[in-house]
């Protein structure tokens, strides 16, 4: 297993060992002791999966206390650009984001701890899976609008020939970071 720490404390890319032969392949998608050694020392209590057509953009989502969620994410089919925005109030990287390509051919994963808004855009038809450290709670839903100019996220839409992302009405109604900050004080 290869581990890549990002420029934002707590965000980790995990590239597992993939064992291939004429029958196909095998990999460990989680091993508690190995993941604890690399800093993912959390218990996962809920698993989710979504299917997205190319160009679907989901996020930026998060759960507020006491239902904050850390997420271990990957794609089992396709390719997505995954985004995590640091919203930890006392973090020196507050408001900064990290992006990573999750690819079913690489089988890589991204660990996003509690305190981050999370989202992705499907760069091709994709199946996205994530394990969460807390259960979903509708009353604790929060998020930031995907195209907030203050965040200046490069979603790489042009690079992947996505003319207009497909976004839910709910996600289009999310606040800007500045509005989120006013609401959370």
Burial environment of residue 141 by CB neighbours within 10 A (0 to 12, 13 to 18, 19 or more): middle
Q: Taking the model in full, what pTM does it have?
A: 0.93
- pLDDT tens for 30-40 read 998 999 999 89
- pLDDT tens for 36-80 read 999 899 899 999 999 999 999 999 999 999 999 999 999 999 999
* Count of structural domains within the chain: 1
Is 97 annotated in the active site? no
CA distance 94 to 98: 12
The active-site residue, picked from 97, 111, 130, 180, is: 130
The active-site residue, picked from 61, 67, 97, 118, is: 61
Is 31 annotated in the active site? no
Q: Is 138 helix (H, G, I), strand (E, B) or coil?
A: helix
* Structural domain containing residue 79: 2-183
CA distance 155 to 64: 25
Q: How confident is the model at residue 27 (pLDDT cuts 50, 70, 90)?
A: confident
Mean pLDDT across the chain, nearest whole number?
Answer: 95
CATH number of the domain where residue 60 is located:
2.60.120.10
CA distance 146 to 170: 12
The pLDDT value given to residue 126: 98
């Amino acid at each position: 297993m290869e581990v890549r720490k990002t420029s934002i404390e707590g965000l980790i890319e995990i590239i597992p060992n993939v064992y291939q032969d004429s029958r196909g392949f095998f990999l460990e998608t989680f091993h508690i002791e190995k993941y604890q050694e690399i800093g993912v020392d959390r218990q996962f209590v809920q698993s989710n999966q979504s299917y997205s057509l190319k160009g679907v953009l989901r996020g930026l989502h998060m759960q507020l206390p006491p239902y904050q969620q850390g997420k271990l994410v990957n794609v089992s089919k396709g390719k997505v650009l995954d985004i995590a925005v640091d919203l930890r109030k006392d973090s020196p990287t507050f408001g900064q984001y990290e992006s990573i390509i999750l690819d079913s051919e690489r089988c890589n994963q991204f660990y996003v701890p509690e305190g981050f808004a999370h989202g992705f855009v499907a760069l091709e038809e994709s199946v996205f899976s994530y394990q969460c450290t807390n259960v979903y709670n509708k009353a604790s839903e929060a998020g930031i609008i995907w195209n907030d100019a203050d965040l200046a996220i490069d979603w790489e839409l042009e690079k992947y020939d996505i003319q207009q992302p497909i976004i839910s009405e709910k996600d289009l109604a999310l606040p800007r970071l500045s509005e989120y900050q006013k609401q959370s004080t």
